[in-house]
Amino acid sequence: MKSLIVLLGLAIMCFSWSVQARNYPDFAVAPFMHVQIVADDMQFNGVPMRIVEFNSTQPRARVIEFYRGTWGDRVVETDMGDRYILAHRDGDYLLTVDIAADTGMGAKGTLSTTAFFDPRVRPSDTLGEGFPMLPQSTVFNDIKSVDGSNYSRTLVINSNHNLQRTYDFYQRRFYQEGWREVVPASGSGEPVQAAGRAMLLNRRNDELNIAFVPEGRGTMVVAILITRR
């Protein structure tokens, strides 16, 4: 499970598929905060959003003070100990500041803007559409985004089948579709190890990284698809 969490964390830092450009509201940033875009325009389970990372020369308390002063009484705050979250509604959008615990080196965290209140937006009921799956599979997340000329899509899928059955299905299916492993898996043809397995495939300008991790009687699948134009 640890390997799954690490892979998913990396996936969320590099996101695929073009989403319609939106006019997101301006997100106020204090002079002592430095920001870097993580995903300028993405979809999380069908809901458009933008994510920006920030770091600061000032402690967390200064960042909290800045947003309290900016948003006044229209802010909701949640102290989770290792994280402090402030949320504010701006029209059809929810603006969220997620600040990590102080480390003595200044505050850091993320600023996210989500079209949460847009009446035209509905969470997708077609998660995983176009991606092969075994019967009785459940899609937990389907994240689509664009980063310059790269498109990426990240899926988290729970397969109701065991590790060997799930791995064999995807290996056979993607080989049939013209994908090839960049580095053939060691021990190819041998039973899949209980700890999990991964495949790195490419097809022309497309790259596909899939991790398989046992989860109860089934298998958790994390797939990251990147298309370069």
Question: Do residues 222 and 8 make contact, with C-beta atoms less than 8 angstroms apart?
Answer: yes
What per-residue confidence (pLDDT) applies to 7? 43
Question: Do residues 132 and 7 make contact, with C-beta atoms less than 8 angstroms apart?
Answer: no
Query: Which residues partner with 142 through β-bridges?
Result: 155
Q: Is 214 helix (H, G, I), strand (E, B) or coil?
A: strand
Q: Give pLDDT tens digits along the chain (229 positions).
A: 444 444 444 444 433 333 345 688 999 999 999 999 877 778 777 788 888 999 999 999 999 999 999 999 888 898 888 889 999 999 999 999 999 988 778 899 999 898 888 888 766 667 888 999 999 999 888 888 876 677 888 899 999 999 999 999 999 999 999 999 886 554 445 555 556 788 899 998 899 999 888 888 899 998 989 887 7
**Distance of alpha carbon 17 from alpha carbon 142, whole angstroms:** 11
DSSP 115-151: -TT-TT----S-TTTTS---TT-EEEEEEEEEETTEE
What per-residue confidence (pLDDT) applies to 3? 42
Please, which residues have CB within 8 angstroms of residue 208's CB and are 6 or more apart in sequence?
174, 179, 199, 200, 201, 202, 223, 224, 225, 226
What per-residue confidence (pLDDT) applies to 34? 95
What per-residue confidence (pLDDT) applies to 62? 95
What per-residue confidence (pLDDT) applies to 18? 32
Within 30-82, strands assigned E span: 33-44, 47-56, 76-79
Place of tokens 């690490």: 6
Q: Is 203 left (phi over 0), alpha (psi -120 to 50) or beta?
A: beta
Q: Is 83 helix (H, G, I), strand (E, B) or coil?
A: strand
